[in-house]
Amino acid sequence: MARIDRINEDIHRILASLFADIKDPRINKGMLSITRVETTGDLRYAKVFISAYGGAGEKELMKGLKSAAGYLRRELGERLTLRYTPELIFELDGSIAHGARINQILGELDKISGEDDAEH
């Protein structure tokens, strides 16, 4: 495993544990998870992809994460042994919501095909 992959995993693990400590209600509403972390080669920036289900709106969640970024970066710096602590950039990852929508559509198609089979 490459060094950058280990760093990404460490950042992912540490941030996931830190999210529970954040008191901001914009972040703690609903279910929030980190889908992946991508750190630049120079370790200056870490893009953290977030998936949110339920709770506050996406804009409010992003505002809450932006306001907590300083705290999260400081805590990350204390727990990682890196020369530089990367600046955290949060991005919404819509893949889980997209997958849920596909499952919903497939479920509706199953119902329709089940009704067609019952008629014949």
Q: Across residues 13-29, what is the average pLDDT?
A: 86
Determine how many CB atoms are found less than 10 A away from the CB of residue 100.
11
Q: How confident is the model at residue 81, as a pLDDT?
A: 85
Measured between alpha carbons, how far is 101 from 120 in angstroms, rounded to an integer? 29
CA-closest candidate to residue 34, choices 9, 56, 54: 9
Q: What is the pTM of this model?
A: 0.76
For residue 114, give both structure tokens: 């089940």
| Burial of 61 per CB tally in 10 Å (0-12, 13-18, 19+) | buried
Measured between alpha carbons, how far is 99 from 94 in angstroms, rounded to an integer? 9
Q: What is the DSSP letter of 17?
A: H
pLDDT band at 110 (very low <50, low <70, confident <90, very high): confident
Q: How confident is the model at residue 61, as a pLDDT?
A: 86
**Which residue(s) pair with 45 in the sheet?**
87
Q: Which fold has domain 3-94?
A: GMP Synthetase; Chain A, domain 3 (3.30.300)
Measured between alpha carbons, how far is 113 from 116 in angstroms, rounded to an integer? 5
Q: Across residues 85-110, what is the average pLDDT?
A: 86
Q: pLDDT tens digits for 31-85?
A: 788 999 999 999 999 999 998 776 557 888 889 999 999 999 999 999 998 888 9
pLDDT band at 5 (very low <50, low <70, confident <90, very high): very high
Q: How confident is the model at residue 83, as a pLDDT?
A: 86
Q: How confident is the model at residue 9, as a pLDDT?
A: 96
